[in-house]
Amino acid sequence: MRINKKEAMSTMKAAVYLRPGKIAIEEKPVPVPGPGEALIKITTTTICGTDIHILKGEYPVKPGLTIGHEPVGVIAALGAGVTGYELGQRVVVGAISPCGQCYSCLDGQQSQCGGKPAGGWRFGNTIDGCQAEYLLVPYAMSNLEVIPEGLTDEQVLMCPDIMSTGFGGAESGDIKIGDTVVIFAQGPIGLCATAGAKLRGASLIIAVDGVSSRLEMAKTLGADITIDYTKTDPLTEIMRLTQGRGVDVAIEALGTQATFESCLRALKPGGRLSSLGVYSGKLSLPLDAFAAGLGDHKIITTLCPGGKDRMRRLMNVVKSGRVKLDAMVTHRFKLDDIEQAYDLFANQRDGVLKVAITT
Amino acid sequence: MRINKKEAMSTMKAAVYLRPGKIAIEEKPVPVPGPGEALIKITTTTICGTDIHILKGEYPVKPGLTIGHEPVGVIAALGAGVTGYELGQRVVVGAISPCGQCYSCLDGQQSQCGGKPAGGWRFGNTIDGCQAEYLLVPYAMSNLEVIPEGLTDEQVLMCPDIMSTGFGGAESGDIKIGDTVVIFAQGPIGLCATAGAKLRGASLIIAVDGVSSRLEMAKTLGADITIDYTKTDPLTEIMRLTQGRGVDVAIEALGTQATFESCLRALKPGGRLSSLGVYSGKLSLPLDAFAAGLGDHKIITTLCPGGKDRMRRLMNVVKSGRVKLDAMVTHRFKLDDIEQAYDLFANQRDGVLKVAITT
Amino acid sequence: MRINKKEAMSTMKAAVYLRPGKIAIEEKPVPVPGPGEALIKITTTTICGTDIHILKGEYPVKPGLTIGHEPVGVIAALGAGVTGYELGQRVVVGAISPCGQCYSCLDGQQSQCGGKPAGGWRFGNTIDGCQAEYLLVPYAMSNLEVIPEGLTDEQVLMCPDIMSTGFGGAESGDIKIGDTVVIFAQGPIGLCATAGAKLRGASLIIAVDGVSSRLEMAKTLGADITIDYTKTDPLTEIMRLTQGRGVDVAIEALGTQATFESCLRALKPGGRLSSLGVYSGKLSLPLDAFAAGLGDHKIITTLCPGGKDRMRRLMNVVKSGRVKLDAMVTHRFKLDDIEQAYDLFANQRDGVLKVAITT
Amino acid sequence: MRINKKEAMSTMKAAVYLRPGKIAIEEKPVPVPGPGEALIKITTTTICGTDIHILKGEYPVKPGLTIGHEPVGVIAALGAGVTGYELGQRVVVGAISPCGQCYSCLDGQQSQCGGKPAGGWRFGNTIDGCQAEYLLVPYAMSNLEVIPEGLTDEQVLMCPDIMSTGFGGAESGDIKIGDTVVIFAQGPIGLCATAGAKLRGASLIIAVDGVSSRLEMAKTLGADITIDYTKTDPLTEIMRLTQGRGVDVAIEALGTQATFESCLRALKPGGRLSSLGVYSGKLSLPLDAFAAGLGDHKIITTLCPGGKDRMRRLMNVVKSGRVKLDAMVTHRFKLDDIEQAYDLFANQRDGVLKVAITT
């Protein structure tokens, strides 16, 4: 194992889930990478909507777990068998960290690694995450991606999760040149889906939300039309805009019955519903909108694609300047102050979109 | 227009929907084909599960409409502009009769012809159907397909609907070589989906039903394993058979919450649910089986593909001898006796699978 | 048939192929649309590279044929059975005019309409084309597309052929988000392929040509990097830019051994060669670049997609403002002066890219 | 590392390439698996056409290299980090052994592992192969697949290469239900492509070869029609059988200009050429058959898909009884006599199809 001396045998700060309502900074030992693993010194990370579900106890994780799955950092140590990297390289690691070698990964379903639901999502879910000074990365050969020269931490901060997820929503919707696309909800994921829809060649992109600052950001990222659902009925407006045809693709980016159902109702016969939200409670398929099963509908859910090739591609998009997502960083905190960051983000105050947490 | 004299100016018998619970033979004028249309003398047709929904008033059609969408017959007259056919040729026409020239058809969604939900389904739905002595075929150039020499009416009787639908279920499930597939319900559609799964290279096909004669037929058509759900819990058995992995593809062939939900629960993470059933009442997505939206699931509904190229392909499959679906014809009736046929079929007596109605 | 009086029984001017080297304006009768046909008063059209092949006798057509396949005009008459349109509507018709109802069309291969090679290409090839005052459009229901309000003739002039072809090259290359793409040759088709590659989400687009004005236009339309092959070896430069990986997709837009072969050599193992050129002479696959057949290569040729749904989509892209192709119109002529236009275009003088011909 | 004692520190016999024309048995040390590797005691292997190219010096490998890439054996030792397996388990390893963790593998192009042409083909190419008593398997987690109970070595002997390659040819041809398919050459690979075409739902499968015993085997494996090209002109016959349409898919399974060109000429416009052969010399695309690039052709080459998920799927197909490829084993030899086996196989004597080599 190659390791910098200063990292050995020391402790680090980590944001740890304690109980519903409480995530706090604690001291933990700095992990030591075993074969195939790597240790990353985190330089910047962020908080995801999913972390808020964890904070609130809605998505259960083991008390004591370090939270966070959006790491940007520097290679601090490399376990046996991890080759082609150097200590000190700046890297991004996807929120989803596939092994690459199980049946699911070899079959192209890396997010369902190990054949378990969402099995590729490990950080801050089944193993310690990255809201900490250091992160232990499993399957490092599949997951470490060096940041191209000239890109800042904040420029690549969206790559591990929301850019990959949002773009994935556009990709799973199989958007074709000239398609009409609606995206319901313009939080960070929805905004990235809007950017993704533009990147795939949609000719009319309709973004729906109830917060005007988000709708403005949507315009910047690619929406041709924005609908504030607090003022206008989205379905009426969508049908007007599409001359009654309905949209080719509807992207759900919130995880509620209302947005899911609106997507279905906005679709043309034969349309595609690309679902990104994490649902709770109940979810039903209104049969009128579903044409009783005769409408040649497709409903596709997408969990954030990960792995180093995905990160390479996304960072190349950032580098190309085609999409600028760093404008979504509205607030900045030190790791020590992460509880304040959670408070702000959980309560959606001050027009927060994404926070940058530095160490 | 080319037309045989005897067809001109006469009347015919037709099975007409009158009111909930009542379909009866009535006299109607023999239609005269306009430009682009053709008149078919029906030789054999059949009753579909959907016709039973119509009979019961569950699927509303206009009183007075001739029912039936599975025509086998002989060309009796050709309207202006219909070229490449001859009077007297034996033909099949799909249950779905796309125009070929609207936006939906040109975009590859022929079943949603005209951009209306299930818009390609015209016969016995929005225009007079084929449980009659004659059938008027719109868009004849897109829809008439000559029966290859040597095939009987009964051999091609499943092509217009159930073979096309069932195979479509296997196709939409994107079955790959070596996939494990379950089909819930082994009525005529489910049996064809079973045959289709075999035709696409699934290596383990599990058929579920509660009627032993249907499960026996499933074995003949390609099922490796059959599960009688009245005796064995299908999900437990499926998980045992797949060593806990779940199936790659689950095909729903009934249209109920129970079968839809069982499909979802039988799937591996990242699996594909191919839905063929016509649903009524309510349909919900159980979020545990749906991995809260994080499971990379695909849900695809398929309405019977139609058009003459589809019919050509299906009849070629019949001709190849790879699949023998005429064994599904368990009972035979004359058109005059179609009310008895409805009675038998609606009540699923005498092990009926499909009835052949001849004129 | 609905027809304006003034069009009936009159004659019109048409650019007719006479013999190798000679296309000239002649008088012809204005056609009268039969069932399913429409008559278009041409307002603007253009000359294609293929027309130059015809002029030179390299692509043989019947002497006396009217040339041209890129029509923009106004509906002057509608044959029986053509519904949903009005006389006087401004329309675009694709260079490829599929029937929508043959086996090939119903199977999604509209450009090979009738099962004949390039069978969907009729105008100026197998029937009279649009370098004339009037154009007879077969299968009008499949092919007439009304121009959205607010778009000029020149804005939609690229839709019938080069935009559809160039975008088709990007689509057939199956460009994925973050892909690296090279386009060899930046004539009108290659420029549109460059624009198409951007529209599909490529993160690095490399355009190769030897004419600096074309490379400048390529930059405007989406190229990140341009290579003047008269000054720099493209393959060396491509390998440098991709750190030796090769590109994911190479688009051939000229139709020569040199560009085809360069595409193959520029590709990564497993890469996709999307070919748009019309080849003459000989074409060989260099086995070293082809990995002796072991490289998981894909070579896909694309003939301009046509039909009204394609035209609708492309005009929506124009309307969205995402791509501005009218800047490619460098010269303008009256139909009467089309011989001068041919002379200019055939000899590539004055930096000509596309000429607009008005009536 | 877990290892059986008897395997440690000993030597083994291996078939080694010495010089053009000479492969001979030599003694080599039994390899010791490092981290991520496994040692397999070979029980059965076979000789591939590619090995003959190596023998003849047509495909250059390093003198001293152990030849062979079709291993069936028993786990003899497991390196560090290889989990989920037990010593003594019977396993198959694909001819292609992807790492699973490089950019190419994570992007779904496992045969081009490492981004090098055919980079996933290691055994008997870039590292020692399996015509030996023991085989060292790199990336064991991606590549070891346990043989299902009840299957003999000979039943799974085709899985590592020819079954995977031949089926891959059918898969890459994107065969649809009802397609017409021709396979040129019925050696082991072509026969497996024939079986694969049947497994994907082709309704008319035409097999072409000049050896009657191979054509008979083709009939057993799925060919509807066989053509002996020494007696009948295949293209004339194919056009007759398809009523002049041409085939939907043509599979090349030899690697010559003649078969490649015949495939192209047999195709319908818009058809797909799936190429499996390893070409030498020159390869050209006849432009008449290629419609000068306007025919919407697809040419796809496929290198044998590998990895444990592929092996799992293929062995499941064997287990299902759908395809019986062990009938292709016509001769059996001990490893000591492998030079005789090469002599027989290279000269195609005694109707040899595949030889089984046991240790």
How does DSSP classify residue C65? P
Residues of B in contact with A278 (CB under 8 A): 292-294
The residue written with tokens 């502009």 in the block is: B81
From the list A177, A180, A199, which residue is nearest C177 (CB)? A199
Contact at CB, C313 and A203, closer than 8 angstroms = yes
Q: pTM higher than 0.90 for the full model?
A: yes
Name which of A177, A310, A311, A314 to mutate to probe chain C: the one with the most chain C Cβ atoms within 10 A of its Cβ.
A177
Low pLDDT (below 50) residues in chain D: none
CB contact under 8 Å between B293 and A279, yes or no, is yes
Cβ pair D72, D157 in contact under 8 A: yes
pLDDT > 90? residue A3: no
Tokens of B168: 């479509």
Which of C177, C316, C317 shows the shortest C-beta gap to A171? C177
| C357 close to C45: Cβ distance less than 8 angstroms | yes
**D199:B177 CB<8 A:** yes
pLDDT digits (tens, 9 = 90+) for A323-355: 999 999 999 999 999 999 999 999 999 999 999
pLDDT (0 to 100) of residue D281: 85
Going by C-alpha positions, the residue among B177, B183, B181 that lies closest to residue B200 is: B177
Fold of B163-301: Rossmann fold (3.40.50)
Residue C162 DSSP code: I
Amino acid at D208: V
Count Cα atoms within 13 angstroms, Cβ side, for B77: 22
Nearest chain C alpha carbon to D303: C294
Q: Is D207 exposed, middle or buried (0-12, 13-18, 19+ CB in 10 A)?
A: buried
Q: Which of D117, D121, D296 sits opposite C303 (nearest CB)?
A: D296
Best of C106, C107, C311 to disrupt the B interface (most B CBs within 10 Å) is C106
Amino acid at position D200, single letter: R
pLDDT, position B5: 56
Q: What are phi and psi of A185, to 5 degrees?
A: 90, 130
Nearest to D142 by CA among A170, A104, C109: A104
- pLDDT averaged over every residue in chain B: 96
Task: Using an 8 Å CB-CB cutoff, list chain B residues near C309.
Answer: 103, 106-107
- The yes-or-no verdict on residue A7 having pLDDT over 90 is no
C-alpha to C-alpha distance for C188 and C217, rounded to whole angstroms: 10
Backbone angles phi, psi at C78, to 5 degrees: -125, 130
For the cut 90, the answer to whether the pLDDT of residue B204 exceeds it is yes
Element holding D2 (H helix, E strand) = strand D2-3
Q: Which residues of A touch D98 (CB under 8 A)?
A: 106
Angle between helices C188-199 and C164-172 (to 10 degrees): 50
Q: Number of helices and strands (H, E) in chain D? A: 11, 16
Mean pLDDT of B278-295: 94
Neighbours of chain C (3+ CB pairs under 8 A): A, B, D
Q: How confident is the model at residue A265 (pLDDT cuts 50, 70, 90)?
A: very high
Q: Which two tokens stand for residue B131?
A: 């449980």
Q: Which of B239, B282, B241, B243 is nearest to B261 (CA)?
A: B282
Query: Whole-angstrom Cα distance, residue B272 to residue B296?
Result: 9
Measured CB to CB, residues of chain D less than 8 Å from chain B are 167, 171, 176-180, 196, 198-201, 203-204, 224, 312-314, 316-317, 319-320, 322
Residues of D in contact with A310 (CB under 8 A): 106
A127-172 confidence digits (pLDDT tens):
999 999 999 999 999 999 999 999 999 999 999 999 999 999 999 9
- Taking the C-alpha atoms of residue A73 and residue A141, their distance in angstroms, rounded to an integer, is 16
pLDDT at C9: 63
- Tokens at D228, concatenated: 């002996």
Using a CB-CB distance cutoff of 8 angstroms, which residues of chain B are in contact with residue C81?
Answer: 35-36, 81
d(CA A67, CA A110): 21
Spans of all domains in chain D: 2-158+325-358, 165-301
**Closest to A112 (Cβ–Cβ): which among B269, B298, B300?**
B269
Task: State residue B61's pLDDT score.
Answer: 96
Amino acid at C227: I
Best mutation target, C151, C179, C203, C224, to test chain A (most A CBs within 10 A): C203
Scanning every residue of chain D, which has its alpha carbon at the shortest distance from the alpha carbon of B248?
A: D313
Nearest residue of C to residue A311, measured between CA atoms: C178
D242-294, pLDDT tens digit by residue? Answer: 999 999 999 999 999 999 999 999 999 999 999 999 998 899 999 999 999 99
CA distances from A217 to A46, A157, A237, D207 (A): 19, 17, 20, 60
CA C38 to chain A, closest CA, distance in angstroms equals: 25
Sheet (strand B247-252) strand order: A225-228, A204-209, A180-184, A247-252, A267-275, A298-301, B298-301, B267-275, B247-252, B180-184, B204-209, B225-228
CA distances from A85 to A77, A347, B238, B341 (A): 10, 40, 44, 74
Which architecture characterizes domain A166-301 according to CATH? Answer: 3-Layer(aba) Sandwich (3.40)
Q: Taking a C-beta distance cutoff of 8 angstroms, is the pair B269, B246 a contact? A: yes
DSSP C231: T
Closest chain B C-alpha to D312 CA, distance in angstroms: 8
Give A98's contacts in chain D (Cβ within 8 Å).
Answer: 106
State the sign of the Cα–Cα–Cα–Cα dihedral D204, D210, D212, D213. negative
Among C211, C210, C216, C262, CA closest to C239: C262
- For residues A323 and A156, what is the distance between their CA atoms, to the nearest angstrom? 11
Residues of chain B in Cβ contact (below 8 Å) with chain D: 167, 171, 176-180, 196, 198-201, 203-204, 224, 312-314, 316-317, 319-320, 322
For residue C195, report the phi and psi dihedrals to the nearest 5 degrees.
-60, -40
What contacts A325, CB < 8 A, 6 or more positions away?
A155, A158, A162, A163, A191, A192, A195, A221, A318
Interchain CB distance below 8 Å, D294 and C280:
no
| Token pair listed for B4 | 């045989």
User: Left if phi > 0, otherwise alpha if psi is -120 to 50, otherwise beta: which for D118?
Assistant: left
pLDDT (0 to 100) of residue A281? 85
Task: Flag if B107 and C309 touch (Cβ within 8 Å).
Answer: yes
Gap from C197 CA to chain A (nearest CA, Å)? 10
Q: What angle (nearest 5°) sits at the alpha carbon of residue D132, between those of residues D130 and D138? A: 40
Interval A166-217: pLDDT, tens? 999 999 999 999 999 999 999 999 999 999 999 999 999 999 999 999 999 9
pLDDT band at B6 (very low <50, low <70, confident <90, very high): low
C-alpha distances out from residue B210 to B185, B187, B189, Å: 8, 10, 15
Is ipTM over 0.90? yes
DSSP D139: S
- Alpha helices by DSSP H, listed for B149-251, are 153-156, 164-172, 188-199, 212-221, 234-241
Please say whether the beta carbons of B147 and B156 come within 8 A.
yes
CATH superfamily of C165-301: NAD(P)-binding Rossmann-like Domain (3.40.50.720)
CATH of D2-158+325-358, one of 3.40.30.10, 3.30.70.260, 3.40.50.10860, 3.90.180.10: 3.90.180.10
- Confidence (pLDDT) at B281: 85
* Partner-chain contact C309 B80, CB within 8 Å: no
Average pLDDT over residues B187-201: 98
Distance CA B348, CA D337 (A): 66
Cβ atoms of B207 and B220 closer than 8 Å: no
Residues of C in contact with D283 (CB under 8 A): 284-285, 287, 290
Residue of D35, D106, D139 with shortest CB distance to A308: D106
Q: Give the pLDDT confidence score for residue D91 in this predicted structure.
A: 98
In this predicted structure, which of A23-37, B262-276, D8-22 has the lowest mean pLDDT? Answer: D8-22
Tell me the β-bridge partners of D15: D25
| Whether C139 and B308 lie within 8 Å, measured CB to CB | no
CB pairs under 8 A between A and B: 137
Name the residue among D167, D178, D319 with its Cβ closest to that of B313: D178
What is the count of residue pairs from A and D with beta carbons less than 8 Å apart? 55
Alpha carbons D288 and D307: distance in angstroms, whole number: 40
Distances (CA, A) of D114 to B90, D61, D300: 57, 19, 21
Average pLDDT over residues A275-297: 95
C→D contacts (Cβ < 8 Å), by residue, are: 103-104, 109, 111-112, 115-119, 121, 245-246, 255, 268-270, 275-285, 287, 290-303
Query: B269–A294: do the CB atoms touch at under 8 Å?
Result: no
Enumerate neighbours of D (3 or more CB pairs within 8 A). A, B, C
C308·B106 Cβ contact <8 A: yes
pLDDT tens digit sequence for C161-200 = 999 999 999 999 999 999 999 999 999 999 999 999 999 9
- C279 and D301 in contact by Cβ < 8 A? no
Question: Using CB atoms, which chains have 3+ pairs under 8 A with B?
Answer: A, C, D
Among partner residues C35, C107, C310, which is closest to B80 by beta-carbon distance?
C35
CA gap C300, C193 in Å, rounded? 14
Distance set, CA D130 to CA B113, D51, D65, D72, D83 (Å): 57, 12, 11, 9, 22
CB-nearest to C316 from A167, A178, A312 is: A178
| Residues in chain C with pLDDT values less than 70 | 1-9
- pLDDT greater at residue B207 or residue B3: B207
Look at residue A8 and tell me whether its pLDDT is greater than 60: no
Closest residue by Cα to residue A186 from A285, A259, A266: A259
Which residues of chain C does B35 touch, with a Cβ-Cβ cutoff of 8 Å? 35, 80-81
Give the tokens for residue C159.
């839709």
